[in-house]
Amino acid sequence: MRNSLLFVSFIFTFNVFSQSSEPHLKNLTQLTFGGDNAEAYFSPNGKFVSFQSNYMKWGLHCDQIFSMDLKKATKDTLYRPNLISTGKGRTTCSYYMPDMKHILYASTHLAADTCPPTAYVKGKYLWNVYPEYDIFVADLNGKITKQLTNSPGYDAEATISPKGDKIVFTSDRSGDLELWTMNIDGTNQKQITNGLGYDGGAFFSADGTKLVFRASRPTIDADVMEYKNYLVEHLVAPTTMEIYTCNVDGSNLKQITHLGKANWAPYFSPKGDKIIFSSNHHSDKGYDFQLFMINIDGTGLEAITAVSKFNAFPMFSPDGKKLIFSSNRNNHGTRDTNLFIADWVE
C-alpha cells in the first residue's frame, strides 16, 4: 500500500500518458504499481480482467491470480484486486468463464504449497513448463469448483472461445508441447497440433472458428536435440518463435510471421483481419519487446508501441474499443512490469 499522499498525488498526475509515438493508443492509463503483472485478459462484458502478479507488497512469493475491477483500478492507485487463486504453489494463465462467475487458471498447488524452483542455465533464457501444472476453475471468492485436467505433465495456457463452448490449452502429455482443446466442462480433450516444437499461448478468433498461437519449429539437428533435451528437463528456450494460425480442429495450419527471434503473445484484432503480438525481431540485443500488428496473410507489419523495452500480452476488449497489455514503462528504474489500458484508435 502507498502511504505517502505526495506519492499518490504524483501517481495520479502521471497515471494517464500521451505518447505521440504510439498513435493507436489514446488515454493510456496505468493499472498496477509494483511487481510483475501480466496476462491480463478481459471478462466477457469488458468490465473486469483476470491477471497474475507476484507483487511482494501483497504478500506474494510467486505468481498468483487476481480479478480486477477496471472501473476501480482506473480511479484508485491504492486499489487492491481480489485474490482468486489459493495463494499456494505457482499459477498462470487465467481466463474468465462465460458465466462471469468463475475464473479458469493453471496451478501447481496440488504438488506443494511452496513456489516451484525456477531453472537457470548460464547464458540461456528459459521458460519452466512445470509438470505439476493442472487447470482449475474457481469462483470469484477463490473456491475451486472444478479441476479440468489431471493427466501427468504440463497442462496450462488455457483460454476460452468467445462462443463459450471450448477451451484451448497447451499440454505435453503426448510427449511434446502441443495445443489441445476440450469442452467447457473439461470433457472431450483432443490434441490438435502435431509439429515438433513448442505450441502455446493460443487464443480464439472472435467468431470462435480459428486459433492464433506462438510456436517453435526446430529443424536443424542441433536445435532439435536442444529442444528435446530441454523438454526432458521441463524447460523451453523461447528465443525463436513465430506466429501461426489454424482452424479450431487444427486444420489449415499457416505460419503468419517469418521475422526471426521471438514472436509471441498473439491476439486477433476485433475484426479478425489482423493479429497483434509482441516481438524482439527488430532488436540487436534481444531484450526489446514491442507490440506489432500484422495482417492475417502476413503482410502489412506495423509497430504499435515504441516506449520502454518490454511490451507484451496485448488483448482487445470484447467491443474492440480498449487494449490492455503489460509494460515496464514508468517503472522508475525498477524491474517492475505493470498493466496498462488504452483506448484503441484505428
Helix or strand (DSSP H, E) at 224: helix 221-232
DSSP state of 65: E
Give average pLDDT by consecutive 10-residue segment, the chain, 346 residues. Answer: 33 49 97 98 98 97 97 95 98 98 98 92 89 98 98 97 98 98 98 98 97 98 97 95 98 98 97 97 90 98 96 98 98 96 97
Q: How far apart are CA 38 and CA 29, in angstroms?
A: 15
Q: How far apart are CA 102 and CA 138, in angstroms?
A: 5
Q: How far apart are CA 209 and CA 200, in angstroms?
A: 17
Determine whether 22 is exposed, middle or buried from the number of CB atoms within 10 Å of its CB (0-12, 13-18, 19+).
buried
Pick the CATH number of 34-314 from 3.90.226.10, 3.40.50.150, 2.120.10.30, 1.10.8.350: 2.120.10.30
Coil, strand or helix: which one is 9?
A: helix
User: Cβ distance 29 to 74 under 8 Å?
Assistant: yes
Of the candidates 127, 177, 125, 132, the residue with the CA atom closest to the CA atom of residue 150: 132
| pTM strictly above 0.85 | yes
Q: Which three cell numbers stand for residue 179?
A: 495445443
User: Cβ distance 260 to 249 under 8 Å?
Assistant: no
Helix or strand (DSSP H, E) at 10: helix 5-14
Of the candidates 333, 197, 209, 321, the residue with the CA atom closest to the CA atom of residue 264: 197
DSSP annotation string for 176-209:
S-EEEEEETTS-S-EE---SSS-EEEEEE-TTSS
Domain boundaries, the chain: 34-314
pLDDT given for residue 14 in this prediction:
39
pLDDT given for residue 2 in this prediction:
35
